[in-house]
Structure 1
């Protein structure tokens, strides 16, 4: 907000009838008298404030201007400022306004704009409240010119066969008001001539009348999508002095489009009388999809999305009226492909951390789900104390816990301000007079303390004081439960903070409680200790399988946040896990942090790296599995703000749960596709007891897996039963008291009962689950082929190779192979360029059998998808089936 606006708002807030002097106003705002005097004179010249005649000069707010319907329009649609000015001039031009022609593409809002002109004319007393507004689309009768003219001008009885009575025309109905003619280019030349006669003289005749002339006072607004030079008579357009052009949606800017979308969702919320929850991706799609029919189509598409969501709500398949991007039509979802082009404005309007937004007509504005998570010290205290008291914790223990929580808040406030916001960006979120006041406080405090305060103290204090002043103005209390302890322990700093409180009160004309001095004291106390903690934020390391997976997610995260914080370490499939672990070891050795690291990994052996590193370096490590880009963003953002390792781990795992529960669902056809078999010779009861033991200790998140107990008369019968079961399900592992001749992973009863095998089984479950949900995952990555068609083809190809080799791929390699081949098919549909395989001829010569096997099996894929898979691609696929990745049957 500009200084002149601050001064104007302060005058409005004070509402002094007899006025206020420049000096008094400058003191209340903490601004220089010269600047305030200059801005007051500017406001007076603009007519926004008044000043008295005597000395000293007193200033007061002028009577507030009447807000019109057009004033409200330009607040949300700044592209229409010129159009609105023309419309206002047309309405107010003496004596009865100027007839108007509105130009614009289909759907730009010509009818709506004409309606607003009618409303504005009433507001400005140019028309009476009862003045009619008649609309007529000339295209409805364009095939019958005579009928079209009769609709407009009326009919005399007997004018033609069937005209058995006099009929009133639209001009007569619009007398004393407005007539809006849409698609006026469809009006025949004869009708245009009759109209310009009416506009010239105010007289007309009904169809069939020859002698009698009628009069009417009608303001004419016409509209067309065509070029008026070629579609209308020049004698007609000469009678229309005001021509207004409405810009199409693509020329209105993203911010204005966002305002329109928000308005339409609020209108639907009002119609349904319920809030509407819209996912962030849905909003991004609506913001950037191709909308050729402009605002009309945009409004219709919003209505259809709401109607579909409401159907789901009513049928009780959903508990809220919710709109998700997968449910949108494909032409709207294509807007999400414009990520690079529109990322900046997306982030500005919607943010990168929001999952959804809620539109509620009762609240009149968009409500974000973005959680502040105790960014406000006062909310932290209130919520935390209530939480602890509900749990029945004693007051002494509450005080001890609160002391720790408050200190953590200031650590984040000071430490995070340095990384999260720059001084030059403060004016976009904090009023300039707050910044100027804190600069004065810092200078004063440095003189008293005989030391220089860090810029982090300045930034943190600006944000804190802005919050506290706002809270006081909203009539909320400020309570510091540690006030007495702070006042006793830090006497010098507390006295300084108390003086600063008085300075704030004087400059901002507010009354702050002494509790606030306790809060300010901590900025002075903690500054020195925080200087010593520059490197004590949590490190973020991303480790995933593949040649570019980890570094790609890290690049996206660092670019979005404008930092170089997170670190990516790739684990290519042809590199041994031990070599990847050594890379991690070297990084920790070079950049170890006392506050620890959070490892974000995908699966397999990478999940064990954190435990190894923690023991070896005695550094705190937390590991999050099945990572995606949103998890990396959340971890990095929280780490930069100084959150502890435990806090980051908790918030990121919450996000993992959210993504897993909302992004991918298991289809009915895939339910119970996986199985763990428990085998006992001693009867079904033992096998069932083993099943219950596994259910207690395994994390089975969905209904894709079941545990099947088998009791056997003799161990020789297990083979055929497992073979039959494998025809229906993928067996993850077998748990048995004896050894079974099978390629399926197996564990003994002892290993399961003493829990030594539980982590290994859990890992197998996650890998198998990943493979079976990959079909749904691929739809977010494939652009040129249907994932529901290509993934079964890839699975059949892999199974065919496994049968011919009489082997089974390791599940981790299997997932990588399926993903690689699916993406290869998708890429080759539009791009035939291939990365050359080094020593291709040598590799093929050394593995001729495998080469020809894969070449023969992949022919069917080439034919079906009409692509050419060259030898370089075959070699990359051969890597997955190399003997190191195989298991014997």
Structure 2
């Protein structure tokens, strides 16, 4: 007897009226509970068992024959907001004789395409369509600017119907005969196309493009979708032919229960793809349940796929036993979902439970929740959550401690004793690898015994951050040099000897060979632990100035709490406050605090980087400024300042933290294309430049994550050129708006043109072209196999620009996309040694008729030949010329 059959028989025996749990059946059969749970869920799918609600989950044997659930029924059972849409879809598919055409409405990413696909599968289930029937998707936006090509794609074309139609070509309607044609973004279908469609929906007949006599017929169910209001974007004659209009709600309109079901479904899908279980921490589930998911279900699915991909990569590269997702590793925008109000947490607990640790997903289509008794370090995820939440409410430290203690007791009663036996590392785990934390605990224990005294928490925290940074440097083959090594060795011999033994601990536990210079740094932790940190007023002052209501004070508070001191100072700069006002408040603080020692400013404002010189003259102290303002930088700067380092040493070491982060991201950063910028220059003050910036915001359309408008005030020509050069280090300046002509090759527009809205069209074209290049990078990277797609994009851009300059033209954006992809695929094909796909027809005649453009393209191609060690043939040159010979330029 198979295991599942034995489980079924035992279920019938034990379940009775109330039901039996998986653990009861597993114990009775002496089987693994997880395997029994899988079998029970499979029996439910087969209709032989019924799964109860509540905890623990009880199963009963099904009575009689259970009606098979359709795919739409299953969708509605876990998505209450779709019940109405499901009913409409069922009615449309089953309506005699061949069903009703449908229009699906909903925001981008709500799942319109997925719903259309489910409709097709339902039609097959209900025998309204054959199992081999087609489901064809067509995005009307892809051809919106080429009506002839769009109509030929849909309806087909007769030979000679247009240039390039060298054979009869069937359309998608013919290919979808007997099935469904899904028209996505149908609002981009031109009126001419809508007219042809409503005639087809009326009569079931159509003609290919260019045909005038014989009519063709097809039986196709049209399902269309749009994000727009159909009353304003579609012809009335078109919408009247669509009797069934279905609306799909956005993710924000759905309940938390529905979102939980979607998240579970997506994790199960990824588990099925990977062929392995995925362990997701409860905090991660809570984050996914509550974060702001701007692009609806589509973004939720993509975010889950990306997180699973990262976890799978770590599983392979680090030889882990399981694929595991922790909230500490989630992107910050997803992690923000954790910081919700109490009523949201109550819903979390209702869905997931209070004492659960992990959700485990596998391809058995069942979510299993376990109480984990081991690996108690993960409890600190919860402590971290609570600390962040309470701090955001601005409560005092005492209230925070009391509230957090109550919350931990209520939330984790089963773990509180083990937590109390350990050092509280909750905050530190956000920035330090737990493996390193374990090593530091061993070092603290050993050093305390060796030195005959108990070390304070500030040594623990400071050493953890320091060792993490040191290990990063070593693994990146960067040197560690301690210029005070000999002085430390002789002056603090006992601490230095202990530090040398600590290096052996690091070597043994982390398999990292630390240089002897590092012992000098560790020894100073032990030395300074006995000093009165609060009394050392000559230490370097760390002052953080950052935009936001509490950004600077939050970073300073975090550093101070981690290091057990009150050394870093945060000064917040509200977004609406002018830089002059911020600087005035900084001055006021320096006077009130009677600051007399050196200062390191950590800022996120360009105007403050030059403020230090004014402070030096006014207060008689030395200053340095860094345009860095992250928590890690503040911690490192504060730590080094407390250890008595000089201003220059603190400055250098804090900057090196930035270098470490940069190196960590080098590979990714090198693939990124520079962000775009429009620079506005005014002679009448920065306020005028900002007003001009606001005007451009209204006139232009752009993605703010790709392009930024940067206002500058003219101080003098040399100054403006210097600032432009600095901006160009981080941005690709696509144009400048200025009341006078600057000596630069960057396109410029006069102030008068902008004020009269005469420059907007040209500027918009520049934005569109450069934005298109940026967005094509990922696409090319996925398309090409022999060459690097993102690197190729830079070369293609240079190649096209040279031709445009020689011909004095600017290509239309849509044509630009075509020629870029064409050249990319051409380079990839030639580099791989593949033959020409098709010879250019009447090549010699074409070259003769387009000799000037041909010569320009041929000359520009020399750059590609040299760059890729290839020879672009004349046939390919002609194909490229045909793009530049197009009449649509801007």
TM-score, normalised on structure 2? 0.45
Q: Of the two structures, which has the highest relative contact order with CA contacts closer than 8 Å and spacing of 6 or more?
A: 1
Tell me the TM-score normalised to structure 1 length. Answer: 0.45
Larger Rg: 1
